[in-house]
Structure 1
Amino acid sequence: MDLLELLKKKIREWSNLSKFYLQNRSNLRRVFLLIDSRHNIKDSDKEIMSMLDECAVSYQIVLTKIDKVINEEDVLLKAKNSIQKFIAVHPEIHSTSSHKGKGLEDLRNQYLP
């Protein structure tokens, strides 16, 4: 078995383990998918979203580094358009900036006891 085959096998194993965890974790209420707002929703993000849909796990998009984009409204609109076909995604998209502290308190207040 060469290195590439071994790597592919390990990726499949990790993927199966992740799916098992997501499907069997009874106290998991929602997953937060952090996406760099400078790059919009990438294909790799969509793959994760598809897996979460397949596992019937509720998830919510959190756009990070929102202070680094020129037009926040455009970024939010593009993200909202990108998630429309996904089933388990929460419709509200949060935008955050750790540098400026934007949106972090909202997340804490909304989801932490």
Structure 2
Amino acid sequence: MQSMSAGRRPADQAAIEAVGRIASLRSRDVRVPRVDHGQGIRSRCFSNHRSSPDVAELFEHVAEVAPGSYGLLHVRDDEDPDHENEVRVLRLVRGRVTQHTETLLSPYIPTVEDPFTG
């Protein structure tokens, strides 16, 4: 009987490893649903502070090892001095990740939260 990994292409194995790295984040939910012609990744990660591995770095890694992947990743990083009051969207298409401001949720304060008055 052959091992399940015996017939996998290197890119498939790299994508599986990327899923494992994403699953290592402090996450409430990581799922790898089967979809037509492959697998998808659905994840919700929550952290009060930047962590290692960084979720944006992992998204870049997926772009590199699985260039046919696509998706959006919404990030709010109040520790980023250039974007602390924005929700950022990382867009993965054809092996490239670009960053955009999510205009429906930005500026984060007062759109999503009230200003801190304490």
When normalised by structure 2's length, the TM-score is 0.31
- Is the strand fraction higher in 1 or 2? 2
- Is the helix fraction higher in 1 or 2? 1
- Higher RCO, 1 vs 2 (CA within 8 Å, ≥6 residues apart): 1
